[in-house]
Structure 1
Amino acid sequence: MRIGIVVDSACDLPKDFFDKHDIVILPVAVKIRDAVLVDQRDEAATLAFVQEHVAERGHEAETTPFTVEQIRDLFLQQLVMAYDHVFCLTISKQRSQIHDNALQASYAILNEYKPIRQAAGHNSPFALRVLDTLNLFSGQGVSAVEAVRLRDEGATPPAMRLRLDQLARNTYGYMIPRDLYYLRNRARTKGDRSVGLIGAALGTALDIKPVLRAHNGVTEPVAKLRGFELASQKLFEFTAKKVREGLLTPTVVLSYGGELAEMRALPGYDALRGACDEQGVAVYESVMSLTAMVNVGKGALGIGFAAPPHQPQF
Structure 2
Amino acid sequence: MRIGVAIDAACDVPQDFLERNGIAVMPITVKVDGQKFKDDRDPVEIQRFRNQKLGSKSHSGETEPSSVEDVQNLFLDRLVKDYDCVICLTIMATRSPIHDNVIKASFAILKNYRPIREAAGITGPFLMRVVDTRNIFAGSAPVVAEAVRMIQAGKSPAEVRERVAHIADCSYGYMLPRDLNYLRSRARSKGDRSVSFMSSMLGTALDIKPILRAHRGETGPVGKVRGFDHGAQLLFDYAAKRVQAGLLVPSLSLSYGGDLDEMRALTGYHALTRVCGDAGVEILESPMSITGMVNVGEGAMTLGFASEDHVADF
Matched, 1:123 2:148: no
CA contact 2:38–2:45 (8 Å) conserved in 1: no
Partner letter of residue 108 of structure 1?
Answer: A
- Deviation readout 1:110-155 (Å, 9 max, x if unpaired): 1111121122222201110111000000011111111111111101
Structure 1 unmatched ranges of 5 or more: none
The 5-angstrom pairing of residues 1-314 of structure 1 reads 1-314=1-314
Task: Say how many residue pairs are matched.
Answer: 314
- Deviation readout 1:18-41 (Å, 9 max, x if unpaired): 111100000101101211110121
- Give the match's secondary structure for 2:200: helix
Structure 1 Cα separation of the partners of residues 292 and 142 of structure 2 = 16
Shift of 1:206: 0.8
Structure 2 Cα separation of the partners of residues 161 and 49 of structure 1 = 34
- Give the match's secondary structure for 1:123: coil
Structure 2 Cα separation of the partners of residues 272 and 44 of structure 1 = 28
CA RMSD of aligned residues (A): 0.9
Partner letter of residue 305 of structure 1?
Answer: F
Shift of 1:209: 0.3
Structure 1 Cα separation of the partners of residues 123 and 295 of structure 2 = 44
CA contact 1:54–1:298 (8 Å) conserved in 2: no
Partner letter of residue 268 of structure 2?
Answer: G
Structure 2 Cα separation of the partners of residues 124 and 177 of structure 1 = 48
Question: Which stretch has the larger CA shift, 259-268 or 111-120?
Answer: 111-120
Partner letter of residue 196 of structure 2?
Answer: G
- Give the match's secondary structure for 1:210: strand
Structure 1 Cα separation of the partners of residues 174 and 56 of structure 2 = 25
Structure 2 unmatched ranges of 5 or more: none
Structure 1 Cα separation of the partners of residues 73 and 40 of structure 2 = 18
Shift of 1:238: 0.3
- Give the match's secondary structure for 1:283: strand
Shift of 1:53: 4.2
- Give the match's secondary structure for 2:52: helix
CA contact 1:8–1:90 (8 Å) conserved in 2: yes
CA contact 2:170–2:306 (8 Å) conserved in 1: yes
Structure 2 Cα separation of the partners of residues 85 and 185 of structure 1 = 41
CA contact 2:7–2:89 (8 Å) conserved in 1: yes
- Give the match's secondary structure for 1:192: coil
Structure 1 Cα separation of the partners of residues 51 and 133 of structure 2 = 30
Structure 1 Cα separation of the partners of residues 137 and 112 of structure 2 = 32
CA contact 2:67–2:101 (8 Å) conserved in 1: yes
Question: Which stretch has the larger CA shift, 43-52 or 216-225?
Answer: 43-52
- Give the match's secondary structure for 1:305: strand
CA contact 2:81–2:120 (8 Å) conserved in 1: yes
